[in-house]
Structures are given as structure tokens and as C-alpha cells.
Structure 1
Amino acid sequence: MGKRIVLCSLCVAMFSTVGFAQGSKGKKVKNAPVFSQVVYQGDDKVYNENPLKAGEFYNPILQGCYPDPAITRKGDDYFLVCSSFAMFPGVPIFHSKDLVNWTQIGHVLDRTSQLKVQDTGISAGVYAPAIKYNPNNDTFYMITTQFAGGFGNIIVKTKDPFKGWSDPIKLKFDGIDPSIFFDDNGKAYVVHNDAPNKGEELYNGHRVIKIWEYDVENDQVISGTDQIIVNGGVDLSKKPIWIEAPHIYKKGGRYYLMCAEGGTGDWHSEVIFVSDSPKGPYIPAPSNPILSQRYLNHNRKNMIDWAGHADLVEGPDGKYYGVFLAIRPNEKGRVNIGRETFILPVDWSGEFPVFENGLIPMEPKLKTPKGVENKTGKDGYFPNGNFTFTENFTSPQLDYRWIGLRGPREEFITVLKDGGLQITPFPVNIKEVKPTSTLFHRQQHSNFSFTTTLKYIPKSEKDLAGITCVQSERFNYVFGVTKKDKDFYLVLERTERGRSKVLASTKIDVKNPIQLQVKGEGDNYDFSYSTDGTNFLQLGNTVSGDILSTNVAGGFTGCLIGLYATSENDILVE
């Protein structure tokens, strides 16, 4: 994932769950806001114009900010993980039997002993996890880089991904994007992106792929075994940038090294090398790249772009498949949904694997593997396409799609005995690099609405609760209820590059619950409210989603929509 390149200027079902905090035993806290319902609805044109037929499913398979996918298989079980940055819990993990129908079974890093992102920016934290099953000892491993908490490169393991993971083991090497390979002779290796040797940097973005032997018994790389196996990329003379996200596969007795190249933006691609030994030398395929959308018309319909950062697995039909990240920009080319998880069949009938139709404009639909029925959005499977997600907060369990930022959700949420979700506000506002009392849902469509019902009477101007749309601590919208003197106000604030401006405000009656809504239509976002449960009034004018895009805000996340409360409100009602 070209981490330092600046991008200009959920056995458990999808409606899978994790327990709420029980510290307050479902009791109400005086003056704490209560959210009684959320309805998220997606309505993208591409799905309306391309209805599914029998034997088809939609791509991406995971919509919204689920980037940097990695996948492994044990028997008939597939497990997939994604990057999570400063989101808490970290590294969402999904399970499938067929590569089409997925359930989220939890998060790999779900404890504070595993995830220490409390003081880091939203786009730091956990990058590019890799997951691998080792048949030699019947153990699953997840290896990743955690830019926070003094961790660096770490590995966790488990015998059963449904039952949780170990605490992290710090690995003694620098660089990023590590993955692990288990050879059939019992040996193991770690490969990763790193800087060139000191004094050998040739240009900005020049990186190398390194390999280490790995001691499985002691869970550590073996000192002195490291060597560079790729310098720069496929062709150093062309000054390739950001060779990264390496994975090794063994097929037909030979070793294949697959990497991303070109950075995680519009020059992103996937390339492949081959060797007779796991430690090289690795020879690039003559037909690289094997996946990219970079050469295509920028005005193509239903544009999918930035394809790369891939991982391969053998499917239930005996074919290979590749999961990878890509984006679906809005009509202005902005990336508000973030980088998503896609899948394509892979032709590996020749010497090198090639993503089928991975070098031409990608389609929104794919054919299911032979014998697989598409059940997405039904029977508890993760939905894709256009869908509605309704959360009434009546269950003692919380859907895995709800995430916190920099700290556990359980520290500020309580499910009330009479229904509803109470958020006990932290003295932290959304612009601070600290754990916030905000429960987030990813934006998963360009055209969407997110509506919640809020019961709240703020005590002072320091108190605020409502909705926030966040690309980062420096780029966000806040739409909430606060107080000034003896009156209550609904306010809309825009923060760009850390500078905030109140766009609109209105006096409001808070004796009864109010509904708050944000609607996005491509780049246009509207913030509205209702005091009668039926009629919505827009607060202020339609605003631009520019600051919710990667293009403007930089970083690596998509827009997160949050139920937000703070006792450190700094929005001044004018």
C-alpha cells in the first residue's frame, strides 16, 4: 500500500455481533445522548442498471473502507482480512465457504493488549495485514505492521479464527507490508517491503522486497538471514515506485512472488516473479503487470480504478481467484467510499497467473463459481449492491460493522434495558488525536442516506451529540445538538485542514427525540433534521463531499459516518 505517497491535496453471521459494555448494566446516565435507531440505505445507479441474474454476484464483495485484502484457506474454509488503521477493534476478519457469500466473524485485534492506536492519526495504526494457514502445525497466522504503540511489525496466531487470536509478538525487522510463507518442507519465510540499503536509494519511491527465514518454534525472524530479492520492481531502469505487499506461492515445485507496484493510487498494479528457490533469484514475468486499470480511459462508465495489492487462493471449483483493492470514484473522481475489496478469477493455466479481465475495464458483476448460489444480503451473509441496514439497538449484541476510533467501543456505549444505545461522552472532540466517543459505520455507496433518532438535552455549550462524517481528524463534518445560554441549537460545522467553520445553525426543541440525516449524492451532501418523524428540513445549503475524499484529505481511509457525542464541544453557535 504506498503508505507514504500522498494522495492529493462483521458459527457467526454478517449481522454478527460482539457484546456491549455491561459496566453500567444498561442503566441510563443522566444527560447522556440516546440513539434509538439507525437506517443506512444505499442506492447506487450502477446496481439499479445492472440487476443480478442467476449465477451472478456483485464486485466489490466488500463495499466501503475494507482495503488491502489478504486471504487464506483451510479445507473448505476461507478467511479474509483487511487493513483497519486507527479503527478499533482492528483487522476485520471474514469467513466464506465459496468466495461469494461472506460473514464477518469478528476482528483479529480486538483487545487493548493487541491494538495500541490511542494516540495516532486515523490513517496510521494497522496496515496491510496478511493471513496464512500453516498446515505443518495446523495454525493460522496474521502478520502486519502497526504504526502505533511501539509495535512495528507484529504477528498473532490461533488454532481457530472463530475463537480469537494471541497477543502480538514483535518481530525484529523494519519495513512494512510483511507476509509469511510456509513451505511444504516445514520451513517458513517472511517477505516485506523495505528501504534500499543505506546510500543506495536511487529515486523517490525506490523500495525493495526483503526475505527472512522464520523460526516457527520461537516466532521470530532468524538474524542474519535477510536478503533483498527484488530491487525497485520489475524493471529498475524505469524507476518503478513502491514495490510492496509481497506474497509467495508455490506451484509445480516453483516459487512465485507477487507484489503491488506503482503506489496505491492511479498507477497501482500487481506484478509477478518466479524462482526455483524461496530466496530467489526472482525473475519477473514478461507480461507484467498481471492486474491494473491504469492504462484505461478515465471517462469509462462505472469506473473502477487503483486496482492492486492482491492475494491469491485456490477456489472451490479448482480455479485460482485473487482478492485485491480498488476504488469506485464518484462523478468528480473523488474517493469518498475508500478502497474496497474486489475479487477476480485468475487464469493460471500457463507459467504465470493472470487476473481474468484485470487489464480491461472491470464490470460490476461476475459469474459465481460453478455450483455456488449467491446468498449475499440473505441468511445473515454480508450484503452488497444496494441494500438497507437497520439497527434498532434492541439486542444486547453489537453488529461487527460498528467500530470505534482509537479505543474500545465498550468504554462509551451501553444498551439500555428499554431500548436504544446510550453514548457516555468523552471530553474529546472529533478533531483530537485521542479515542473518541463515536460509533462509526462505513460509507458504502456514492448515493446513500444515514438516518438516526436522537434523544438528548445538552447541559451546556460544551455538550454536543449527533452525526459526524469523518475522513480524518483534520477533515470532517459535525451535525449535532448543543446549547447556548438557555436555548438549544442544531449546528453544522465543516473542518478542512484542521480549520473549522460553522456553516449553519438553528434553534431547536429538544423535549422530544429528533431525527438527524445525512444524504450523499455523489459529491453533494445534505444534512437534514425532523422533529415530527416525517418531514425533514435541510440545515444550511448542500455541501461538498470534497473533504471526505482521499483526494483532498489524503490518508488511506474512506468516509466514516458516526454517532457522535462529546463533552468538549468547541463549536460556537453564532
Structure 2
Amino acid sequence: MGRYRNPVLPGCHPDPSVCRVGDEYFIVTSTFEYFPGLPIHRSSNLVDWELIGHAVHRDDQVDLSGVPASGGLFAPTIRYNNGRFHVVCTLVHGTGRQGHFLVTARDAAGPWSQPLWLDDIGGIDPSLTFDGDRVWLCGTRLAEQGEWAEQTEVWLSERDPVSFEAIGPTHVLWRGALTGARWAEGPHLFRHGGRWLLLAAEGGTERDHAVIVAFADEITGPYTGDPGNPRLTHRDLGARAPIINVGHADLVDAVDGASGAAADSGWATLLATHTLDGVASLLGRQTHLVPVGWEADRVLFAPGFARVLESVDAAGVPDQAERPTHFVDHFDAPTLELGWNTLRSAGAERMSLSARPGHLRLVAGPGSPAETGPLAFLGRRLPSMRVTVATRLELSAPASARAEAGLLLRLSERDHLTLVVRADAAGGSTAEARLTVAGAEIALGAASVPAGAAELVLELDGFDAVLSVRGDGTSTPIAEAELTRLSPDVTGGFVGAWIGMFAVGDGTGHADVDSFELSVRD
């Protein structure tokens, strides 16, 4: 019996899909407009996870240019077959090629292949099922002849095992557990007890989100819904529930520690959102884990309590290791640590680790956090609502360059918080804090600060933020802000917060980042 804490992947890790290879487990999650995309985490015990790579890690794999917030890479699925990992995903709202694609790798850490585009069918949230020498692709789409608004259907298409081209007709498996059911998402198909199990989410990925189950004798159906649907949801817990939006589950069997074989129990990964005083946190949808059991051939999620809890005692896992609460990067390695992300592309022309050794150089080029174009930005998932973040950087640019650099807490182009320094005409520097909500920029505060290198600091305590600048042994308060207006409950969208450094200007200046430090105060 071990104890673990949810989420098992803190920060914005939505739409988790999981598979087991031998005695190791692998998870992939959605990344939308961020690059590299589709992170792969590995674990030997399901409760302690290590980021080992990304399924999309080269600019020439997919084109994310111009993709708006909450567009891009939706709901991947990871499976293993014949010595290769397979990740299938959908690129949405792209300006280039979009739709479903498949990438594969011998090693989950990469490198991953060029995409094989599956252009013959639309929709989102594809999943692969390998059944002997047969391969099946399923997904969801708006019902072609819907009986109500936002009715969706789960479709199934057999695929050639080599080319992945469609074989035969497309089958419609499911159109909702209840009359009025909306937005089926994340469908997966599994064999169990001689029957086929369809697992999907319904209700939309907000507070009505739920996990539903259906069964059939043949993979092509017909499917009969479990009479207890939905099988897992928090929709009935009220507006102030601490964990909401539960859904988008995937199943994996456990490993018997003595034999190494699959045990007669399992686990589900799923997404959920945590709240503060009834308001969805800035972290977005995170990956959670619940035990799964079977009773009379019916699947039970979190047997005995049927809820996603923050602290779980369960058989089959060890006590979870203590999570690191402190991260610092001095940018003295030849490559970036795996947890860093840029927006939409690798951005090699906008940043460098070699221009000034021991620093990250950001080119202060045209662009803005409020736009979908290129931006010199390097960030990572906000892991907690109680953090201190500090970056030490030096801006080198004349006042005429209109350059600025600093911290960006980003939900989207329309919703973000910035703390920047910029050169002024007198040869000094000015620090400014700005909050952008629904596309409207609000000036929070400004102050003169010493020229040269400065340390920009964000202290977050729940939705309360304090911004300051340190330099020459002094600390200058810039502003305080209340950030409830950045909550996904207010802004909408599918993406949680990233925090990092950015620089903008006319291209003649740059910012050299000496360090980035993040401390969790939970």
C-alpha cells in the first residue's frame, strides 16, 4: 500500500494517454501551441514520472506558425506495437497542413519520425488499437446528422498495418450516453473479458466533464452503454469542489511485481482541474491517476470512493517520492533542459545559448505576447499557485530600439501578465508591470531602476501576485495584481499558465538571461 498525491503531473498536462511496455509506463499529453510538443513521461511505478522527450521535437514535423492559443496539438494517444511507439494526434487551427497524423519511434525518448498524415477522415482526438495483425483508428467528430446541438459521434476506421490507409467503411460506434450528451472526446477501445470496451469523455472539458463506458461483442459494435454512466465525474459536487472537470481517461493494466505479468487490476490516467475558493486555478488541466477495478465485468474507477482525490492510498504503488520544489537554470549547458518550451517553433533565430556563454540570449525582435506571430519567449509550465519566480537578465538596446525584456506569465495572447525592463532616453532603465485581460492592456505600475543587469521577481500566492525588481542590492516594488481574471473559468480556452522570459523590439537589441529560478512554496 502506497500513498501518492494528485496531480501526478503538475502543471498544464491535459488529455493524458498512457501505455505500458514491460514494467515501464509512458504518458503523452497535449501541448497546443507550445514547442516542442507532446511530452513523453516515463515511470516504473505510475506515481513518479520523468520527462524523457517529445514526440514533436523538430520544426519540420508539423507547422504551428500562426496557431492561436488553444489551437495546435490536440489530445494525443500513445500505444506500443511490434517494437515501436506510436503517437497519433490532431493539429487544429493551423495555417499549414492540419488534421490527424501519426509519428513513431523505437525509443520513447526519440528521435520520432516524420508525420504520416491521415487525411481521409476529420474530427479530433484519434486513438489507435492494435488487435493481432489488425489496426484500428477511432476518434470523434460532430455528428453528421445531429439530433441536438454539439452532439458528437465516435467513429472507427480499420487501417492497413503498414500504410495506415483506410480499409473498408467508417463505422459510427457511439452518439452519447444520454439524450443531450455533448462533445464526446478522447475515445479509446480495449479488449476485456472477451468483449470490447469503449471509453470516452462527454459533457465538454469543463465542469460537466465525465467518463463514460460502453461494451460490445465486436469492435465495430453495436455498443451498449453501461447503465451506471457516467462512471466517473465530479459534475455533481458543486461550484466550490476542490477538483473539477474530471474526464478524458485512458486505461493501463498494472504489473504484478512477482511475475512481471499483467495483474487483474489497473489504473486510469485522466485530466482534472484544481480550484481555489471555487475558481479554476491558473495551472489548467493536469494529469491525475486513479486505481481501477472490475466487478461483474464492469469497470470501477477509484473503487470504494469513485472520486479523484488529491491524496490517495492504494495497493500496487509505492509511496510517492518527494517532488522537487526548486528549479534553477544558469543556461551553461549546450542544450536546453527538457522542461522548457517556446511558442509555435524552436525559434533558433530568436535565441541562442552560445552568443554569450553561460547566458540565454533573446533577440528583441518584432512581435508581442498579444500576437500569434514569432516571439522570443522561453517558458515552462507553472507548477503551483504558490511560487516565487526570478530571472536575472541584462537588456542591451538603445532607447530608439523600443526594446523590452522580462517575465511573461502567459495564458494566451489575450490574457497574460508581464514585468519588463526597458532602456529610457536618459540612459537608465524603467520597469513596468502590465496585465492583459480579454485583449485589453492594463498598466499596473512602473518605476525607475538601476541600469544594467536586473533581477525581475514574481511572487504568486494563490491569485495574488507581487512584482518587483532587484538590482545593486536594492529591491524596487513595481506592482501588485489580483489574477482571478486570468482563470480559465473567466478566459476560456484549454491551456494553463506558462512562466518564462521574453524580449521584443526592432531587432537591434537583445537580452542576455543569466538565470531563471522557480521555487514552490506549498
TM-score by length of 2: 0.90
Aligned partner (choices 296, 299, 304) of residue 243 of structure 2: 304
CA drift at 1:490: 0.5
Structure 1 runs not aligned, ≥5 long: 1-53, 378-382, 570-574
CA drift at 1:545: 1.2
2:434 aligned with 1:477: no
Q: Which amino acid aligns with 1:207?
A: T
Deviations 1:523-560 (A, max 9, x none): 21111111145x533213x2121343212222111111
Aligned partner (choices 313, 331, 335) of residue 252 of structure 2: 313
SS of 1:433 mapped into structure 2: coil
1:363 is matched with 309
Two-structure CA RMSD over aligned residues (Å)? 1.9
**In 2, Cα distance between equivalents of 1:427 and 1:127:** 28
SS of 1:264 mapped into structure 2: coil
Deviations 1:463-485 (A, max 9, x none): 00110111111111221011332
Query: How do 1:528-543 residues align onto structure 2 when only pairs under 5 Å count?
Result: 528-533=468-473, 536-540=475-479, 542-543=480-481
**In 2, Cα distance between equivalents of 1:191 and 1:558:** 27
Instruction: Tell me, yes or no, if the aligned pair for 2:240 and 2:277 is still in contact at 8 Å.
Output: no
1:288 is matched with 229
CA drift at 1:420: 2.3
Deviations 1:206-229 (A, max 9, x none): 11111111111112222x410211
2:277 aligned with 1:331: yes
**In 2, Cα distance between equivalents of 1:536 and 1:346:** 51
2:126 aligned with 1:178: yes
Aligned partner (choices 151, 157, 160) of residue 206 of structure 1: 151
CA drift at 1:153: 0.9
Q: Which amino acid aligns with 2:332?
A: T
1:347 is matched with 293
**In 2, Cα distance between equivalents of 1:72 and 1:358:** 25
Query: How do 1:463-474 residues align onto structure 2 when only pairs under 5 Å count?
Result: 463-474=403-414
Instruction: Tell me, yes or no, if the aligned pair for 2:45 and 2:317 is still in contact at 8 Å.
Output: no
Deviations 1:104-157 (A, max 9, x none): 1111001112121111102100000001112xx322211111012222111111
1:413 is matched with 351
2:382 is matched with 443
2:161 is matched with 216
Aligned partner (choices 273, 289, 304) of residue 214 of structure 2: 273
Deviations 1:238-273 (A, max 9, x none): 211111210000012211000001100000000000
**In 2, Cα distance between equivalents of 1:291 and 1:568:** 52
Query: How do 1:538-553 residues align onto structure 2 when only pairs under 5 Å count?
Result: 538-540=477-479, 542-553=480-491
Runs of 4+ with deviation above 4 angstroms: 357-361
Aligned partner (choices 33, 43, 47) of residue 100 of structure 1: 47
CA drift at 1:441: 1.4
Instruction: Tell me, yes or no, if the aligned pair for 2:207 and 2:235 is still in contact at 8 Å.
Output: yes
CA drift at 1:400: 1.2
Q: Which amino acid aligns with 1:566?
A: V
Deviations 1:394-424 (A, max 9, x none): 2223211110011104433322564222222
2:362 is matched with 423
2:332 is matched with 394
- Paired positions, count: 494
Structure 2 runs not aligned, ≥5 long: 257-262, 508-522
**In 2, Cα distance between equivalents of 1:140 and 1:371:** 24
2:513 is matched with none
SS of 1:434 mapped into structure 2: coil
SS of 1:552 mapped into structure 2: helix
2:516 is matched with none
SS of 1:452 mapped into structure 2: strand
**In 1, Cα distance between equivalents of 2:20 and 2:277:** 37
Identity across matched positions, percent: 29
Instruction: Tell me, yes or no, if the aligned pair for 1:60 and 1:343 is still in contact at 8 Å.
Output: yes
2:515 is matched with none
